[in-house]
Amino acid sequence: MSALDAIDASILRILQQNGRMSNADLAAKIGLSPSACSRRLDILEKSGVISGYHARLSNKALDYKMVVIVHISLSGQFAKTLQEFEAAVKRCPNVLVCYLMSGEYDYILRVAAKDLEDYERIHRDWLSALPHVVKINSSFALREIIDRPNVGL
């Protein structure tokens, strides 16, 4: 998709704040007809600018009070090694984010845990069992300062 125009940017800003807004309400806010707004939304979705709609849940409200940043080193960077690790880490339900990294560690994960005992279980049953892992370094977040779901437009 080519560069976004001002109307597209407005649509995206509004949807970031309220993804449940009806097309009619969104069109009225933007100053478009509902059909024109719907066409633009369709283009934004098909081009991948809008990758989905979801409810943002509160881990804390669901009793996941701990956030753990986990640095992982693998035995090598061979394509098969990375593929096997990535397939396995996707099955771990407590891993919220996983990034392949440059630098000292191969991967960085953000993990949700209910408490220290729960993290010990996650570490023992999931993280330590991931294929090709040679080093795990865990850091516990003391306080969340910011967690933006999207970039500013």
Which tens digits make up the pLDDT trace of 79-106?
999 999 999 999 999 999 999 999 999 9
Domains of the chain: total: 2
- Read off the pLDDT of each residue in 45-69 and give the average, rounded to a whole number: 93
**Residue 135 to residues 13, 72, 90, 129, Cα–Cα distance (Å):** 41, 6, 19, 12
Lowest mean pLDDT among 20-29, 52-61, 67-76, 80-89: 52-61
pLDDT class for 3, splitting at 50, 70, 90?
A: confident
CA 24 to chain centre: 29
Q: Tell me what the pLDDT averaged over the chain comes to.
A: 94
The span from the CA of 53 to the CA of 41, in Å, is: 12
Is 57 inside a domain boundary? no
- Residue 38 belongs to domain spanning: 6-46
pLDDT at 2 over 70: no
Q: Specify the CATH number for the domain of residue 34.
A: 1.10.10.10
The span from the CA of 147 to the CA of 59, in Å, is: 12
Are 38 and 70 contained in the same domain?
A: no
**Residue 146 to residues 65, 97, 143, Cα–Cα distance (Å):** 15, 16, 9
Is 75 inside a domain boundary? yes
Which pair of tokens denotes residue 147? Answer: 């967690």
Query: What pLDDT does residue 56 have?
Result: 87
The span from the CA of 96 to the CA of 57, in Å, is: 12
pLDDT at 1 over 80: no
Query: What pLDDT does residue 149 have?
Result: 80
The span from the CA of 8 to the CA of 39, in Å, is: 11
